[in-house]
Structure 1
Amino acid sequence: MTVQVQFERTTPLTEEQIAQYKEDGFIIIKGGCSDDLIHTFNAHIHAIRSSDEMPDWAKPKKGKEFIDDNDRFSVRLFNPHLHDGFSLQMMKLPIVRGSLAQLLGDEATGVQSMYFYKEPNSPGQAAHQDYYYIRNEPNSLTATWIAMEQVNEENGCLWVIPGSHKLGVLSHGAVKNLQEHEAWTDEVEDVDLSKEIPVIMDQGDILIFDSLLIHSSTRNRSNRWRRSYVCHYIRHDSKIEREDLKRKISLV
């Protein structure tokens, strides 16, 4: 039996959507993932983290240190695509590959993945630009943020400043509001954060945004989780500085 593999690249974005991305620095693909796919992936990640024989790569850790087992479902799962086939395929979704190629003008490659839990009452991350943490040249860094359930202001959605990607690379300093945000990150400086707007998403929606877009998240004030799968990509011809992210994953 011959197995056929489909390598043809899709072009899911309209000219209007591409123009909106260039203007705002972000775009939402509504219903980019089916409910079945979302439920299956959530259950898969839960099975990994709930296993009595959890592999070392999946254990909750901060920095290089493993932390308490009670944090199985609070600490993000970092770079699962390097170890888990399902996570890898979620990074390589055809709708993502096609959209990124349209926005970047050529094939993208994956460099990082993170599965976030964001349990009730957990804090968010202060306003920042992804390029500050992941330097690459020429800069083509782009993020996809898949909503693994409904996301709104109550359970700590993202907030963005439309058009802020046009400001260039900005300075970052200490986090100011430690009641709202994690202390271990940095916060963009000299920017009017009152211009931030909430990014409301339904389960399965895919947010794509530029690495220079100013964005943040708020504390989860609900009794619901706010799970998400976030991947970062660069164009195949860009070079990344961080040693731990130098491995490029083809999306083909």
Structure 2
Amino acid sequence: MAITFTQDPDSALSEFQRNGFFIEPDLFSEDVCLRLIDAANDLPSARDGSLTPVMNPHRINPVFEAPMRNPALLRIMERILGGRVRGLQTQFFFGRPGTQGFTIHQDNFYVRSPHGAFGSAWLALTDVDPENGSLVVYPGSHREALLDVTPVEQPSTFGQDPNANCQEAKLPPGYNPLSVTARRGSVVLIHGHVAHSSHDNTSTNRFRHVLLMTYVREGVDYRTGFAAKREAFDVYDDAATG
């Protein structure tokens, strides 16, 4: 049986600390996932047809904040980040067919919190595999400091964040890419420094719906960001189950 935080949190934490990421399966029910996808149909980029990622949808509809309050997820994030946490940011990805994936990057490059104090929970709302745009992770790269980045040509922004592919982290040699397959309801836990990217969605009819939720350890500094406008918020009051 695979190790999970639910059944063996110490072993799961060791695996996360070794690789810089971890897949916690089936943390959210199918009903929760479908409810989030349905709510996304009222987000601005769904209404205008562009289906580009929506930054901080929890400020538009509290349904997108509810998963961050899931007690099981909060316990995991506390273990990963080393103490009580605050919510920092959400982002909804439609991942329509034809959408290009992200270039190699580290999430904390943008947030600038202390090493190990910031992390992401990437909730797969549909089954995700390389065909429809799964993550590509470089295990062990979270031990690196923040990497230098270099500008790259971005041939298309179809369905994608305009900033997704305009630069790329310069990863030292020796790290091997690993494609991450995740079932609906599973959460990919991502260390703030682990280098990762994503596949293009090459499918003909499979969206890659994902809700990204980021957390920061209470009391640490972070960068608010020009586009993200991050603002830490409480995730413990009226904790919801999912």
Q: TM-score range by the shorter chain?
A: 0.7 to 0.9
Q: CA deviation at 1:176?
A: 5.8
Q: CA deviation at 1:76?
A: 1.1
Retained in 2: the 8 A contact 1:123–1:182? no
1:250 aligns with 2:234: yes
Instruction: Figure out how many residues of one structure are paired with residues of the other and give that number.
Output: 224
What is the distance in 2 between the residues matched to 1:227 and 1:18? 27
1:69 aligns with 2:64: no
Change (3 A) 1:129 1:193: farther
Q: 76-85 or 180-189, which moves further after superposition? A: 180-189
1:226 aligns with 2:208: yes
Greater Cα radius of gyration, structure 1 or 2: 1
What is the distance in 2 between the residues matched to 1:235 and 1:194? 28
Change (3 A) 1:194 1:162: closer
Query: Alignment identity in percent?
Result: 22
1:60 equivalent in structure 2: 45
- List aligned pairs for 1:75-224, cutoff 5 A: 75-137=52-114, 140-175=117-152, 178=155, 184=163, 185-192=166-173, 195-223=176-204, 224=206
Retained in 1: the 8 A contact 2:132–2:202? yes
What is the distance in 2 between the residues matched to 1:148 and 1:218? 17
Partner amino acid, structure 2, of 1:208: L
Change (3 A) 1:205 1:193: farther
1:19 equivalent in structure 2: 14
Q: 1:160-208: CA deviations, max 9, x gaps?
A: 0001001221101112674799773320114348711100001111011
| CA RMSD in angstroms, aligned pairs only | 2.4
Retained in 2: the 8 A contact 1:160–1:215? yes
Change (3 A) 1:41 1:202: same
Partner amino acid, structure 1, of 2:78: A
What is the distance in 2 between the residues matched to 1:143 and 1:172? 20
Q: 126-135 or 182-191, which moves further after superposition? A: 182-191
Runs of 5+ consecutive residues of structure 2 not aligned to the other structure? 237-242
What is the distance in 1 between the residues matched to 2:37 and 2:18? 33
Runs of 5+ consecutive residues of structure 1 not aligned to the other structure? 1-10, 50-58, 62-67
Q: Which structure dedicates a bigger proportion of its chain to helix?
A: 1
What is the distance in 2 between the residues matched to 1:121 and 1:148? 18
Q: CA deviation at 1:33?
A: 0.5
